[in-house]
Structure 1
């Protein structure tokens, strides 16, 4: 690690530095000055709501699965990500749970109407 970019405590081990650098490489910010790195709401570990167009793409792609009440697996979610450029930075699990929640929402709505 370069001291110009990071002010790390002297007691940090080389393993900690390697972990930090691998995380930064994954985010695509390795070698940047810290003040220039944009921190979004999602990067703090909080969950972010899907954008409207992202959700529309997911619901359109899994329309049949939702109507049958089937939660998609990893391969179906990955196929959805590959076919829709809007979803390129999204995790497959987020798509899966979006569909799962949509199915649960519709079941709840259906049971409340039928009572």
Structure 2
């Protein structure tokens, strides 16, 4: 019967010892309790702040991508929605002069402020 058990067994690697293999102990079922302290509270606040920044960055980049897509969709022709929107001219300052023109960053900030309010 021993001859039948060896059928299909490759003995060409039998000379290599198996003691080099490490057995990893399973951690399944082991529970650790973490005590919530001020340091963990600070990490939680930093995580929330970072996630908010990532979310704002994602929102800005998705708006930019959509804007670029709309601009490229009909070159030479204004988009139908943009032709119906008319932006009011800036108000005069108290001394009667015009305010300085806004940069691209300030315009984006105003847009996001309007969007979020």
TM-score where L is the length of structure 1:
0.25
**Higher RCO (CA < 8 A, seq sep 6+):** 1
In terms of Rg, which structure is larger? 2
TM-score where L is the length of structure 2:
0.24
